[in-house]
Structure 1
Amino acid sequence: MTTTTVDLGTAFGIPALAGKMFPGKVGAEGVPDKIQNYVFRPDLLRKGLLWMAGVAGRSMYLSGPAGSGKTSFPEQLAARLGWSCVTLSCNARTERADIVGYLGLENGATAFVDGPLVRALRNGQMIVFDEGDALPPSITIILNRVLEGSALVIPETGDTIQPHPDFRVAFTGNTRGRGDETGSFRARQVQDAAVLDRFLFTEVDYPSNEEEKAILSGKFGTDLPDEILDLLIRFGTETRSAYRAGELSAPLSTRGLVRIGEILRSRLFDSQPDPIWAAVSFGFADGLGKDEGDALCKLLNTVKGAT
């Protein structure tokens, strides 16, 4: 692996950043695959680059609704800059051994097997705790020292792991780690205030209509006409307004819009009386139950009538 400099305008597809250089890497192992036509939001990108530079801290907490792009953002930062990245899917049963490591057998002898956190500390990787707010607080508090850039002590061996200068931590969650205020994310846990105090924080909401249009256009090209993409985006926006008003139990996410687009592109529902509703139903509405499904069908027809 070698270090290099990256033109931000070229790397992130933002002409306003052309000519501005940022440290990057070539030949690192474990670099995420680039998502072609990925849309970087300028405000979020500025925060991400500040975090990657390590100027104000090495740990960033990204909170926001389901399917808004919280986890893909740090992964795609790593992909464009050539950084190694490991993503750990978290839940209430994730244990210390899953993160830090454990004592195991190696060549017939007992040895400590490094977990993803220790490997990231040693090798200068980015580690993404996907759904990190689902972790028990007794687990996240283990991270206190490393979140602020200090060494990690392995009690089993007495070793002290000094963090590599390029070590970075990203936490993603549907909550800010202080509990779920909506009732939609019941597996999320209240995290220790001392842990949360060590993060940079940013909210990752759903993209604007223009940004979602760029995402869908980049994904589907000419396979879906603009009028279909515009209809889906307006429908998604209306479901989010209905959700905030307490009229729906879940909004249609950007991820859901892409899923519905994929169904439409397959053309498997072209013989249905209303192929768009058939795709929306299969990709989203049927998961909410009959009453909400009926309401969504009416909402879709209202959006169609407004076009």
Structure 2
Amino acid sequence: MRRADLPAPADSAPYYLPHAGEVALFEQCHQRQLAVMLKGPTGCGKTRFVEYMAWRLQRPLVTISCHDDLSTADLVGRFLIGAAGTAWHDGPLTRAVREGAICYLDEVVEARQDTVVVLHPLTDHRRMLPIDKTGETVAAAAGFQLVVSYNPGYQRMQKDMKPSTRQRFVAFDFDFPPPEREAAIVEHEGAVTASLAHALVTLGNRLRQLRDRGLAEVPSTRLLIAAARLIAGGIAVQDACNAAIVSPLSDEPALVGAMRDLVKASFI
């Protein structure tokens, strides 16, 4: 695989507002060849942060969305039959290792445990990837970095990462931004006025308080931005909030009713 096969770094910086020294910490992890784990709720900016750091470090970024059926072969590669016969094809993880890219595994605990184990030799002093099917051992090229993410609140009820895997990473704790910072993000990404962005963030924080009433997932910054974009496109404020924020969060009638009431009270 040649470097041209990997996504090139973005020409311009992805929009990201640093807030707690996470940029300098990530840069040190990259310089010292340390694997990184991002922990935080859905839609709080983990993926955007990785995109920003890949641009800042001028490294290609390979993103893998993990799921229950993700196999080792999906990451490492497999033999495929073509016109010229059977040939080995690198998977996305192997490509990233060979070419010194940042490899980002989103929601890593969704993958099977036997799949996650293949990451272990890349997270310590060995920095290599054994390929059992070919007998090759690929040494990580300069610039390679492994980054994983997951949502601890959701995963605690479903799955969790094995301690032997967790301790191979430097952990970054993410959460929803403080109100003023979140409003600035919604204003920029949603192309709305500062006052409307502030009102959407205030609504979001009120809805987040419903977690104690059985709301499994609270509204993310991503949902607030979606509502802002609908409003910027001419959709009525309450309709946009109900479609982009309330409906994605729950189907339970009592919760939906409570959230719709908060939307009405916020935009009278």
2:137 to 124, 136, 160: 160
> Offset of 1:46 from its aligned partner?
2.5
Aligned-partner residue type, residue 139 of structure 2: Q
**Can you give the 5+ residue segments of structure 1 that lack an aligned partner in the other structure?**
1-27, 270-274
Partner of 1:248: 215
Aligned residues: 260
* Alpha-carbon displacement from aligned partner over 1:188-234 (angstroms, at most 9, x marks no partner): x333322221111111111111211221222244xx23221111011
**1:198 — aligned with what?**
168
Q: What's the TM-score once normalised by structure 1's chain length? A: 0.78
Counterpart-to-counterpart distance in 2, 1:77 and 1:230? 27
Q: Secondary structure at 2:239's aligned position in 1?
A: helix
Query: Aligned equivalents of 1:117 and 1:37: distance in 2?
Result: 26
Q: Which is helix-richer, 1 or 2?
A: 2
Aligned counterparts of 1:45 and 1:302: Cα–Cα separation in 2:
38
1:258 alignment counterpart: 225
Structure scoring higher RCO (CA < 8 A, sep ≥ 6) equals 2
Q: Which residue of 2 aligns with 1:216?
A: 186
Question: Residue type matched to 2:188 in 1?
Answer: G
Q: Is the 8 A contact 2:238 2:267 kept in 1?
A: no
Contact 1:136 1:191 in 2 (8 A): no
Give 3-state SS (helix, strand or coil) of 1:180's partner: helix
1:298 to 256, 261, 266: 261
Contact 1:137 1:190 in 2 (8 A): no
User: What SS does the aligned partner of 2:149 have?
Assistant: strand
Q: Are 2:151 and 1:174 aligned?
A: yes
Which residue matches 1:6? none
CA contact (8 A) 1:31 1:78 kept: yes
Question: Once structures 1 and 2 are overlaid, which stretch shifts more, 257-266 or 280-289?
Answer: 280-289
1:7 equivalent in structure 2? none
Q: Percent identity?
A: 23
- TM-score (normalised: structure 2): 0.88
8 Å Cα contact 2:60-2:102 kept in structure 1? yes
Alpha-carbon distance between aligned partners in 1 of 2:106 and 2:92, rounded to the nearest angstrom: 13
Superposition map of 1:7-46 within 5 A: 29-32=7-10, 34=12, 36-46=14-24
Structure 1 counterpart SS, 2:18: coil
Contact preservation (8 Å) 1:133, 1:175: no
Q: Is the 8 A contact 1:68 1:253 kept in 2?
A: yes
The gaps in structure 2 that reach 5 residues or longer are 1-5
